[in-house]
Amino acid sequence: MSASTTFVVIVKDECETCHLVVPVLREIAAAGHSFTVYWQDDGAFLGSALSGASIDDRELEQSFRLGIEAVPTLIRHDRGDESGRVAGWSRDDWRALTGLPGLGAELPSYRPGCGSRSVEPGVSEALDARFGANRIRARQIELAAGADPVEACYERGWTDGLPVVPPTSGRILRMLGGTRRDRAEVIGRIPPDMAPCTVEKVAINAVMAGCLPEHMPVVLAALEAALDPGFTLHGVTCSTCFSSPVIIVNGPIAARLGMNSGLNALGQGNRANATIGRAVNLVVRNVGGARPGEIDRATLGSPGKYTFCFAEDESDAGWEPLAVSRGVAPGRSAVTVFAGDGIQGVTDQKARSPDELTRSLAMSLLAVGHPRLCEWAPALLVLSPEHYAIYRDAGWGRARITTALHQRLRRPGAEVAAGAGGVAEGMPSSRAHETISKFHPGALLLVRAGGPAGLFSAILSGWPGGRLFEESHPVTREIAE
C-alpha cells in the first residue's frame, strides 16, 4: 500500500460496535498504516495503544466536515482524496478497503453501527451554523455564562413586550429551510430606518416570533407586499394613528399551515395566524427601528401591533376569494396586507334580506374614521357565515354586495359638512352641495371568516392615509412556495 494512503476512523464510546472494532484498529496500527481515530464523546475505551492516533472530536467539527452519519466509519484517502468508506462493521468491506486479508478474523462478519452524534436532532443545524458553508451572516451576540437568553432579548429591546424565542444559529438555519430563496437576498429596505433586510434577517425574526419553517413563504410575501410603495409602510409605522399591517391569507397554503378562518379567526389560539403576523411586526421593529415612543408615534396604538393575521374562509365554492378579486389566479396562494386598526363589531340579529343587512352594515361602516369623514380611510368588512348566508341564499356574491354597500354609503354633503349639527369635524363646507361617497372605489374590502353561529360581523377601519387612495392602499402579493 502506498505511503500516500491514510485512514480516518470516527467512533464514539456509546456505541457497542465501536467497542467491537477496537482490536481491529490495533491491527491496522500494527500493520503500519497511517491512520487517525476521532472520538465523539470519550476516547478512554480506545486504550493506550491507540492514544497516539486518537483525537478529541467532541465539538464534532471533523464529524460534520466528513459527513459522518453512523459510527464507526472507516474512510480511506489516497493522495489526500477520499477513495472509499465503510459505515458500521463489515469484515469483508474493511478488509477490502485496508488491503489486510486477515483483518478482524476473531470478530463476527457483520455488525451495524450507531447514529453519529453529528446527526442528532438539532445538532446538525448547529454544526452547519458553526462550520458549514452557509454559516449565519448576522452578527452573533455572546451572552455571559448563565445568562437568560429571553431576558437578554428584553434588555436589548428586541421584543414587542412578549417573550421571544431566542434565535440560535440552529433555529435560524431550520427556519431558512422553509424557503428556497438565498439567505443573502435583500427583500427590501425596512422603514423607518430604511435598513436593508435579507432573507436571513427575516428568518431571525420569524424564529423570535415563534414561526415554523413552513411559515416563511407567507412571512416573506407579506413583508414584500407591505414594502410595496403603494402600501406606505413608512407612514403607517410612524403615524399617530392606530394602524398596523393586517395580513389576509388566501389559497391552498392556508389549509396546509392549519391557519384559522373559522371560530375566533381574528383572535388568539392559532400558531400560524399569531406568529406570521408577529414576525412581520418584529421585522419592522428590529430591522426598521420602529419602536413605540420613538419613531412609532401612535397615540393609542392597537393590539394589531403585536400581530393581526388570518385566513379567509374559502369553503363556499360560490364565493370569490379576496385574492382572486384582486387579480390572483384561482387556486394560487396569496397575501393581502391592509393597514388596519382594531375591530368594530357589528351586531344585527334581525336582518333577513340582503337589503336589510346591507342597510345595517352601511350604518356601521359610516363610523369608520368618523361618521362625518368621507373618502378618508379604507375599511375591511369581515362577513361572518350567518350574515353571509343571507346574501348567499339570495344569490348575491362579492361584486353585488360591494356595489350595494357603496350605494348605501353615499351621503349628502350638507349632512357631513364640518360644523353641521354642532359637530366641528367633517368634510369641507365647499362640498355641501355634493353627494359624497364614504369610500373611494376599491377602498372597501370584503372577507369571509368566522364561526358558524352568531349574527355578528366585524369592521376594521383603515389608516387615513387612504384619503389619497392612489398613494396608499391595500396590496396583494402571490406567495412563492
Residues 279 and 334 in one domain: no
Residues 22 and 95 in one domain: yes
Domain C-terminal end among 281, 299, 317: 299
Q: State the pairing for strand pair 34-39/54-56.
A: parallel
In DSSP terms, 65 is beta-bridged to none
Across the chain, mean pLDDT equals 94
In DSSP terms, 205 is beta-bridged to none
DSSP string, 126-148: HHHHHHSTT---SPPPPPPTT--
SS3 192: coil
Residues 94 and 56 in one domain: yes
Question: Does residue 220 lie in a domain region?
Answer: yes
Residues 321 and 408 in one domain: yes
Residues 278 and 313 in one domain: no
Provide the whole-model pTM.
Answer: 0.80
pLDDT 10s digits, 81-109: 999 999 999 999 999 999 999 999 999 99
Residues 271 and 382 in one domain: no
Question: Does residue 408 lie in a domain region?
Answer: yes
Residues 195 and 282 in one domain: yes
Question: Does residue 48 lie in a domain region?
Answer: yes
Per-residue pLDDT at 121: 84
Per-residue pLDDT at 1: 57
Q: Which domain holds residue 279?
A: 141-240+267-299
Residues 276 and 348 in one domain: no
Share of the chain above pLDDT 70, in %: 99
Residues 379 and 480 in one domain: yes
Taking residues 283-299, what's their average pLDDT?
Answer: 93
Q: Which amino acid is at 37?
A: V
pLDDT 10s digits, 385-400: 999 999 999 999 999 9
Residues 54 and 157 in one domain: no
Question: Does residue 203 lie in a domain region?
Answer: yes
Question: Does residue 133 lie in a domain region?
Answer: no
- Supply the CATH number for residue 41's domain: 3.40.30.10
Question: Does residue 28 lie in a domain region?
Answer: yes
Residues 455 and 319 in one domain: yes
Domain count, the chain: 3
Greater confidence, 8 or 131? 8
Per-residue pLDDT at 2: 65
Question: Does residue 262 lie in a domain region?
Answer: no
Residues 314 and 295 in one domain: no
The grid coordinates listed for 297 are 408615534
Question: Does residue 248 lie in a domain region?
Answer: no
pLDDT 10s digits, 13-71: 999 999 999 999 999 988 888 889 999 999 999 998 787 789 999 999 999 999 999 99
Domain C-terminal end among 119, 151, 184: 119
Radius of gyration in angstroms for the set of CA atoms belonging to the chain, rounded to a whole number:
31
Per-residue pLDDT at 466: 61
pLDDT-based confidence at residue 146 (cuts at 50, 70, 90): confident
Per-residue pLDDT at 300: 95
In whole angstroms, give the CA distance from residue 71 to residue 77: 18
pLDDT-based confidence at residue 134 (cuts at 50, 70, 90): low
In whole angstroms, give the CA distance from residue 43 to residue 37: 9
In whole angstroms, give the CA distance from residue 62 to residue 75: 12
